[in-house]
Amino acid sequence: MKIAIASDHAAVDLKAELAQWLRDEGHEVADLGPATADRVDYPDFGYKLATAVASGEAERGIALCGSGIGISIAVNRNPACRCALVGEPLSAALSREHNDANVLAMGARLTGVDMAKACVTAFLTTEFGGGRHAGRVEKLSQPAL
């Protein structure tokens, strides 16, 4: 699977570890930055990740920042993205099964490496359930204002 991954400065170490692990697992990984722990703004990297997923350059995305909150908000600004902020594998699996999430967000200050890997595994291996969920998911990209 082709996976795009991006973070802010607070999550650069977790991003590097997950990117290497995903490559070792046989995935193609596009690391969208940043490359160092120098201060950056999470919206810039969230938007970059959202563009990669929305355009089809990546099948799925992983968004990381200190809490996961800010970057998930940035990703979800793109109507083609359904980014779920999770901290454990059940939520990651349900984000796929019920919401057809295409981006997973986590907080590096809140989620350890082993738990992050468990979340990513659940996210990548769970299929969308369709059925009663399909109409709801469709509405996510077409908000009635």
Residues with active-site annotation? 65, 98
135 is in an annotated binding site: no
68 is in an annotated binding site: yes
96 is in an annotated binding site: no
8 is in an annotated binding site: yes
How many helices (H) and strands (E) the chain has is answered by 6, 5
CA distance 41 to 56: 24
Strand order in the sheet with 103-107: 28-31, 2-7, 60-65, 103-107, 83-85
Sign of the alpha-carbon torsion through 78, 117, 87, 137: positive
136 is in an annotated binding site: yes
23 is in an annotated binding site: no
Binding-site residue ranges for D-ribulose 5-phosphate:
8-9, 66-70, 99, 109, 132, 136
Binding-site residue ranges:
8-9, 66-70, 99, 109, 132, 136
